[in-house]
Amino acid sequence: MRHRYSVLFFPLHVIIDFISLNVGFVGGYWIKFGNIEPVSRFPYESLWIAFNLVWLVEIVVFKPYIFPRQLFKLDHLLKKLVLLVGIHMAVIAIFWVAVKGFYYSREHLLITYVLFITLASLFRLGGLLFLREYRTRGYNNRRYAIAGYGKLATTIRGFYDAHPEMGFHFCGYFDEPTAENQAHLTASYAELQHHIQRNEIDCVYCCMPYVDNEQLRAIVDSAEPANYQVKLLIDFRGFLAKGTSMEYHDFLPVINVSSQMLLDFRINVLKRAFDVAFSTLALGFGSPLLLFVAAMTRATSKGPVLYAQERIGRGGKPFTIYKFRSMYINSESAGPLLSAGTGDNRITPWGRFMRQTRLDELPQFYNVLKGDMSVVGPRPERQFFIDQIVEVAPEYKDLFNVKPGITSIGQVKFGYAASIEEMVERLRYDLLYPKRRSFLYDMWIIVLTVRVMVQGRGK
C-alpha cells in the first residue's frame, strides 16, 4: 500500500511534543515545589496555557515536522528542536513581562525546558531508530524511477541502495533503447507514464545529460495529474532556477522542481519573529540604559538627544534611521561627510565613547520593530554614498536583497568606514551575509558584537 501509515507521522509527532512539553511543565513544578496540585490554579494556570498556545503557533507558522527523508537525521532534528525552544523561550519571556509575572519561578521554567528538550530529544532518537529499521525492512517505501540511463543514473541508484534506511525502492530505468543501454532498461520513454500509474511511482529522477528538453517537458507536465515529483540529477553545480530547491546525495547535487515552500520564506519568517522578540526584550530590559545614555547625550553637548537620517533599505526603499547623537550639531552643514574615525573633531567626547561601545545604535531597535531593519544585516548607507560605491563595486546592489541591520559582520570585523575605499573594503565582509544567513550565523554575529561593546573596540 502506498505510504502506508505515513499520514500518521505528522499528528504523532505533534502529540508527542505536546506531551513532552506538558510533562516538562508539570514535572518541573513538582521538582521545584514538591506538589503538582497548584499547577492548575492561578497564577500558573495562565502560564501553562501560554506554553501550549505558543508551541501551537510555532507549529502552524514554522511547520517544523515537514522535511525530506534525506534530512531525517538526528543532528537536523535536534537543531530544529533547539531553535524552536529558543523562540518559545523568547515569546514566554515577553509574556512574562507583559503580565508582570514576577511571581513565576525562574527555576521552574529552567527545569521545564530542560525536561522538555530531554524528552523531545529522546522521542526523536527513538523515532529515528524505529523508522530506519522499519524502512530497511521494506516498509513505508517511496518508489522512484530514473529517466535517462548513464553514469549519473547508476550513481543515484547506488546511493539509495547503500542507504536502505531512507526507504526508497527502485522501479526501473527509462530511456530510448540503444545497443549500449538496452540490456539495462526497464522500458522506453513511451511506456514511462503507464509504468508510473501501474506501480504508483512517487518520484522520477531525470538525468539531464541523457534526457532531452522535449522528454523532460512531457515528464514535468504529467507530474501534477499523476501525483509524482520530478527531480533533476545533474553533473554540474550552481544550477538553481527561481522556485527550486537543492538537495545533496553525498557529492551529487539534486534540484527539486516540484512545488515546495521556499527556504527563503521560512528564513524570513523566523528572522522576523526573532527580530521582534529580541528588540522587545532589548527595549524593555534595556530602558534604564537607554535613559542613562539619553541623559548623558543631553548633558555633554547641546542639541537633540536623537539623530534622524534617511538611509536606503531592502529593495532600495528609503527609511529614517534613529541613533543617539554622537556629533556636535550642524556637523554636516557643508554636505554629507563620512566620519574620520576616533580623530574626527566633529564627534563629541561622549559620542566617541558611544561609538566605541556601539551604544549610539540602541535606538535602532525601534527601526527593527517597525520592520525597516533587522537585528543582524548589512549596515544601511545614504544614497549619496551608495551611488559612489556602486561605481566602484556594482555588487553592492546585492545587499538590497536583505534587510539592513543594527550590526553586521562588516561592522564587527571592520567597523565604521572613513572613505569610499574603506566602504568597499567593508563590503567584502557584508557580501558574505546574504549567502550565509541563518539563525546560528546571526547568533554568532550578535555574540561578536556584544564582545566589541564590552571591550569598547568599536571603531
pLDDT band at 253 (very low <50, low <70, confident <90, very high): low
pLDDT tens digits for range 343-382: 678 889 998 898 888 899 999 999 999 999 999 989 899 8
Q: Per the structure block, which three cell numbers stand in for 185?
A: 532498461
Per-residue DSSP letter, 378: P
- pLDDT for 296: 94
- Determine the average pLDDT of the residues in 29-37: 93
- pLDDT for 24: 95
Residue 177 has pLDDT above 80, yes or no: yes
pLDDT band at 110 (very low <50, low <70, confident <90, very high): very high
Residue 214 has pLDDT above 90, yes or no: no
- pLDDT for 246: 59
pLDDT band at 259 (very low <50, low <70, confident <90, very high): very low
Higher confidence at residue 89 or residue 416? Answer: 89
74-78, 140-144, 363-367, range with greatest mean pLDDT:
363-367
pLDDT band at 247 (very low <50, low <70, confident <90, very high): low
Q: Per the structure block, which three cell numbers stand in for 108?
A: 521552574
Rounded to whole angstroms, the Cα distance separating 336 from 316 reads: 19
Higher confidence at residue 200 or residue 255? Answer: 200
271 burial class (0-12, 13-18, 19+ CB within 10 angstroms)?
A: buried
- pLDDT for 86: 93
Per-residue DSSP letter, 314: G
Residue 192 has pLDDT above 80, yes or no: yes
- pLDDT for 242: 44
Sign of the Cα torsion 281, 287, 289, 295 reads positive
**How confident is the prediction for the chain on average, in pLDDT?**
84
Q: Which of 138-152, 316-330, 421-435 has the lowest mean pLDDT?
A: 421-435
Rounded to whole angstroms, the Cα distance separating 232 from 256 reads: 6
pLDDT band at 265 (very low <50, low <70, confident <90, very high): low
Residue 30 has pLDDT above 90, yes or no: yes
Least Cα distance to 274 among 456, 40, 99, 90 occurs for 90
Residue 305 has pLDDT above 60, yes or no: yes
Pairing of strands 252-256, 306-312: unpaired
- pLDDT for 115: 96
3-state class of 147 per DSSP?
Answer: strand
Helix (H) or strand (E) holding 85, with range, is: helix 74-98
3-state class of 86 per DSSP?
Answer: helix
Q: What angle do CA 386, 399, 452 make, to 5 degrees?
A: 90
In order of their start, the domains of the chain are: 6-136 (no CATH), 142-260 (3.40.50.720), 265-455 (no CATH)
Query: Which amino acid is present at 408?
Result: S
Percent of the chain with pLDDT over 70: 86
pLDDT tens digits for range 386-407: 888 888 888 888 888 889 999 8
Residue 290 has pLDDT above 60, yes or no: yes
Higher confidence at residue 324 or residue 271? Answer: 324
Q: Per the structure block, which three cell numbers stand in for 109?
A: 521554567
Rounded to whole angstroms, the Cα distance separating 123 from 129 reads: 10
Rounded to whole angstroms, the Cα distance separating 299 from 296 reads: 5
- pLDDT for 10: 75
Rounded to whole angstroms, the Cα distance separating 139 from 117 reads: 29
Q: Per the structure block, which three cell numbers stand in for 58?
A: 510555532
pLDDT band at 221 (very low <50, low <70, confident <90, very high): very high
pLDDT band at 2 (very low <50, low <70, confident <90, very high): very low
Higher confidence at residue 359 or residue 74? Answer: 359
Residue 7 CB: number of other CB atoms within 10 A?
Answer: 9
116 contacts: CB under 8 Å, gap ≥ 6:
20, 21, 23, 24, 25, 85
β-partners of residue 311 are 319
Rounded to whole angstroms, the Cα distance separating 140 from 27 reads: 35
267 burial class (0-12, 13-18, 19+ CB within 10 angstroms)?
A: middle
CB distance 206 to 231 below 8 Å? yes
Q: What is the side-by-side strand order in the sheet with 229-233?
A: 168-174, 142-147, 203-207, 229-233, 252-256, 245-249
Pairing of strands 142-147, 405-407: unpaired
Residue 264 has pLDDT above 60, yes or no: no
